[in-house]
Chain A
């Protein structure tokens, strides 16, 4: 059974800092991995999708990497801003099941 873990559970950084969020999964047979952002009381906003054949994807100040063999992904946020404060969730499409399995998220607070 696929399990997804995100570390740390919460993170507080000063504005301008670069930071890394971690995601690990137990079954490396995945189709792809998707990173989301969730603001309080809101739905999920898709940030990046990495196909299983890819090693990284970039969008603006965000860069996500994927190492399937070790079951890990990282989300790198450059020059963090207070507006980046939110919960960040990673999710994988399992190889045997056509559904997204989510981690519990990392709550990020960027202090002005």
Chain B
């Protein structure tokens, strides 16, 4: 596809359940970023990948959050034992290399009830 694609666009889950959020970056982009955005706030960094490896995961709030990018393309953000405080929009971005222009997907709106 031409842009960054995120699925699903919306996800409603019950407290305590496990969820997976998917990101398809722009083809050929080596860097991939995950951000989380709460209402009225700017995006907050979670993790970024350079190729297959997580180069910086310092923004993951706790060990319930985990992300993978096994083949250096598609990435999955995984959240275990979801809590109501995890409700937010999760944004994915990709760039050709780190520190170059970043392009964002439309986000996944996660609601934990």
Interface residues of B in 10-54 (CB under 8 A from A): 31, 33, 35, 40-45, 48, 50
Give CA–CA (A103, B109) in the complex, Å.
Answer: 20
Contact (A98, B48) CB under 8 Å given A43-B107, A44-B91, A49-B101: yes
Contact with A along B77-102 (1 / 0, CB 8 A): 00000000000000101000011111
Q: How far is the CB of B83 from chain A (nearest CB, A)?
A: 23
Q: How many residues on chain A are close to B (CB under 8 Å)?
A: 24
**Contact in complex: B48, A104 (CB < 8 Å):** no
Give CA–CA (A28, B58) in the complex, Å.
Answer: 22
Contact with B along A84-112 (1 / 0, CB 8 A): 00000101010001111111110000000
Partner of A43, one of B33, B45, B100, B105: B105
User: Residue on B with the closest CB to A36?
Assistant: B104
**Contact in complex: A101, B45 (CB < 8 Å):** yes
**Contact in complex: A102, B56 (CB < 8 Å):** no
Most A CB atoms within 10 A — which of B42, B55, B100? B42
Partner of A102, one of B6, B42, B98, B99: B42
User: Residue on B with the closest CB to A45?
Assistant: B104
**Contact in complex: A46, B102 (CB < 8 Å):** yes
Give CA–CA (A103, B105) in the complex, Å.
Answer: 19
Q: How far is the CB of A109 from chain B (nearest CB, A)?
A: 15
Q: How far is the CB of B51 from chain A (nearest CB, A)?
A: 13
Give CA–CA (A44, B102) in the complex, Å.
Answer: 10
Give CA–CA (A89, B35) in the complex, Å.
Answer: 14
